[in-house]
Structure 1
Amino acid sequence: MTATLTTPQVTLIGAGYSVYTRICQIALDIKHVPFMFETLDVFAEDGPAKARQAGHPFGKIPILRHGDLTLYETLAITRYIDDRFDGPPLQPEDPVDRARMNRIISIVDTQVYPILVWGLHVPKSEGREPDPELPDKGRTILSVLESVAQPPWLCGDVPTLADAYLAACMDCILDSEAAEHLPGHAPGLMAWWHRARPLLQSA
């Protein structure tokens, strides 16, 4: 049964700097779900305690509230958003296309986020050098993403959760040492980013 978009209220708790908060925001926006946003900085001294009070037992973000339901973990939140609300589907029906989507999501979780975001972007933002082996790993990740993408979007003709996951990371990737390698190692990703950039505008 599809939820009514106005009642009960949807609230997303997180932070603008959080990749995983932005993923949830993008999913909500693609589905045209109105929501309230509550900022919670988990890097503040009392941030983890506030996150636990808000409903995340590990003191992290994002957290989604929908009526009496409180959800944490981005995988659970984004799939709930897709399954519960009207709007464009975010997961392909075809098993092969869905597997391709999940493959990209897994690459973002296990490679893009730890290496391109935390390993290359964060050191640059803090004015320090990254671990010396990470630039090569970053180039490999970009090449792999280039090879598995199915344009015009990452999984075909319409945006899916794969696009939400990678789009939420792109500002960090572009503000890292990996950015200079994008034109050579992943020109297709750059073309995709021109299409996907509006997904991030409200996130």
Structure 2
Amino acid sequence: MAAPVVYGPGVSTYVRTVRLTLEEKALEYRLVEVDLLKGEHQEPAHRARHPFGKVPVLEHDGYSLYETSAITRYLDAAFPEVSLTPTDPRQIGRMQQAIAVVDAYVYKALVTDIVIPRVLVPMTGGTPDEAAIQGALPMAELCLRVLDELLEGVSYLSGGGLGLADLHLAPILAYFSRTPEGGRLLPSYPNLQRWWGGIASRESMARTQPGLG
């Protein structure tokens, strides 16, 4: 069986989520970089893989799949030796809820509205919009509070062992925790801070460390 191939930039949080899934399962895979800054995601070769020009895309034994949550669920089912999905129905529901919260609210609040203007904009020669960043903080704090509540009394977001929801959130916290806003806000959320301390020290995080941040 051929090794999975992941298309996308290593700096992408969603690409990293797929890579973390592969790493936690101790699977061999190949990362094919797609440079978003150069517009490679809009070129015909990548559009053939992903009609919307997004990342990541997974190819495995002639099977192609896009959308991160679909990819990670596929990998968990295709390589079940190390399971990242709980079996308890309530824990499954909590996992899906947490993934949906990350996709619908957390990514925009922490990455789009804070990490990108705070970190990426200066790297490309721009100046952060401080007013916009300040305006994003209430939603960021709401997201952090919700995540903290989900982690009340449990070690991982699903309520069981390490799961796909944790791997969805981890790359986002990796960037956000390095911003001044993250450094200031995260200590106010002890459950999330505890969770992040454990996740950040995992070998899979070290092996997927991107060049940015």
TM-score by length of 2: 0.86
Matched, 1:154 2:148: no
CA distance in 1, matches of 2:68, 2:141: 26
Deviation, structure 1 residue 45: 3.0
CA distance in structure 2 between the aligned counterparts of 1:43 and 1:74, rounded to whole angstroms: 20
In structure 2, the gaps of 5 or more residues are 122-126, 209-213
**AA matched with 2:90:** V
- Report % sequence identity: 31
Matched, 1:180 2:184: yes
User: How far apart are residue 171 of structure 1 and its match?
Assistant: 1.8
Higher mean C-alpha displacement, 150-159 vs 26-35:
150-159
Offset at 1:46? 3.6
1:76-91 to structure 2, matched below 5 A, reads 76-91=70-85
Q: Secondary structure in 1 aligned to 2:5?
A: strand
Would the alpha carbon gap of residues 147 and 42 (structure 1) be closer, same or farther in structure 2, given more than 3 Å must change?
same
The 8 Å contact of residues 13 and 61 in structure 1, kept in 2 or not, is answered as yes
**In 2, Cα distance between equivalents of 1:58 and 1:121:** 23
Query: What residue number does 2:69 align with?
Result: 75
Distance 2:114 2:8 in 1: 23
Pick aligned residue for 1:190 from 184, 193, 211: 193
With the length of structure 1 as denominator, give the TM-score of the two structures.
Answer: 0.90
* Total equivalences in the alignment: 195
2:47 is aligned to 52
1:171 maps to 2:174: yes
Aligned to 2:22: 28
CA RMSD of aligned residues (A): 1.5
Contact 1:27–1:161, Cα closer than 8 Å, also in 2: yes
Amino acid aligned to 2:41: G
Could you say what secondary structure the match of 2:97 adopts?
A: helix
